[in-house]
Amino acid sequence: MAITKIPAAGFTGNNFRNIIINGDMSIAQRGTSTSGVTTTDGYYACDRFYTRTDTGTWTISQSTDVPTGEGFANSFKLDCTSAGTSNADEVIIRYNSEGQFLQYLKYGTSNAESLTCSFWIKSNKTGAYSLNINNFNTSQNRLISFAYNIDSADTWEKKIITLPGDTVRSINNSNTQDFQIQWIFGAASSFTSGGVSNTWIDYAANRSAPSDLAGLGGSTSDYVNITGVQLEAASAPSDFEFLPYDVNLGRCQRYFISYGGDTQYERLGVGNIFSTTQAHFQIDYPVSMRSRASISSENIGNIKVISGSTQSFITSFTEDNSSTKIAHFEIGGASGLTVGNTIMLFATNTNIRLEFSAEL
């Protein structure tokens, strides 16, 4: 008799139920904590989660505070360290997704799929908060927003929000920022005066959050932790889709890759010498990035060129002819190089960082 194998719920090869990458907050390539964050919006700590902190001063970190017995090791934490004014400006966690990965949702048709968002959340401040989704359609941006309550202070709570598919507008089929999920913890009246929509509407900023938004950022007691974030095409939530660490890391590296900072003498790349002081080298990315990356670096003077028995530190570092698969550089300032020889580049201490960003 033939035996049919039914896969267990969760990760099955390349099929991912969860639209959110790194929803368990296990990957933090930029480091585990950044303090003194004010109006410099961006990516801190946990990969793929963008923060907007326009009131107060915050420490943003990968935390080990998690709901008990749910299988999570980390959460994403915003901790207010210098008070601003609650609801005077925005405090938001944001997740951006490429539209080309979401065509199966069939938006803009009568068959548009419902979505269910589930997540664990904890804060000192009870009251109403907002989850909203923006569809950046080229014809007309669309918005749907919902209110949920944090009922008990300093207690992990699971929230489940189910939203209908949008039958009016499709999702752009591109690798750009087409679909955005936001958790709003503080916002000015221009975001709250209309209240939440509970259905898809043409974008109106004042329908982003509830009019009675509780608001974080007005006290140094204010904080929020979030983990177990899952968004799936379903009318009810399933168990969180835990992925192997290496799979999760590879998905994050489509958007951001960091070298250095972890181990001394980490090999960075290989290349060839074209003058006694200059050489080309390249880094092969572990995955193809979303787009050609923007590149930043710290302490490159501690990078050493090794060619045979010759070792020398570099003084300059210029990106040249990179792609979504490789980073290609011209380096200068090394000495004693022999034209035509190959080289290896090493980080000589842990304060060197090379960062490649193709974030949305």
CB 348 within 8 A of CB 311: no
pTM over cut 0.85: yes
Please state the domain extents for the chain. Answer: 33-252, 256-357
Triad 323, 329, 333: Cα angle to 5°: 175
User: What's the chain's Rg over C-alpha atoms?
Assistant: 23
| N-to-C CA span, the chain | 51
Token pair 């938001």 is at which residue? 92
- Identify the pLDDT of residue 287: 97
Structure confidence at residue 2 as a pLDDT band (50, 70, 90): very low
For residue 10, pLDDT beyond 70? no
Supply 109's token pair: 């048709």
Q: What is the pLDDT of residues 159-196, one digit of tens each?
A: 999 999 999 999 999 999 999 999 999 999 999 999 99
Please spell the DSSP secondary structure of 272-310, one letter per residue: EESSSSEEEEEEE-SS--SSSPEEEEE-GGGEEEEETTE
Q: Which CATH number fits domain 33-252: 2.60.120.260, 2.60.40.10, 3.40.50.300, 3.10.100.10?
A: 2.60.120.260
What is the Cα–Cα distance from 320 to 322, expressed in whole angstroms? Answer: 6
CATH-assigned architecture of domain 256-357: Sandwich (2.60)
On the CB side of 252, how many CA atoms lie within 13 Å of its CA?
24
What is the Cα–Cα distance from 58 to 93, expressed in whole angstroms? Answer: 13
Supply 347's token pair: 């980080």
For residue 6, with 0-12 CB atoms within 10 Å meaning exposed, 13-18 middle and 19 or more buried, which class applies?
Answer: exposed
What is the Cα–Cα distance from 250 to 319, expressed in whole angstroms? Answer: 23
What is the Cα–Cα distance from 17 to 70, expressed in whole angstroms? Answer: 18
Supply 155's token pair: 């207690």
Which residue would you say has higher pLDDT here, 308 or 73? 73
Structure confidence at residue 346 as a pLDDT band (50, 70, 90): confident
- Compute CA 103 distance to the chain's CA centroid, rounded to the nearest angstrom: 21
- Give helix then strand counts, H and E, for the chain: 2, 23
Tell me if residue 56 falls in helix, strand or coil.
coil
Structure confidence at residue 351 as a pLDDT band (50, 70, 90): confident
Structure confidence at residue 343 as a pLDDT band (50, 70, 90): very high
- Identify the pLDDT of residue 3: 37
Most distant CA atoms of the chain, gap in Å? 72
Which residue would you say has higher pLDDT here, 348 or 171? 171
- Identify the pLDDT of residue 9: 43
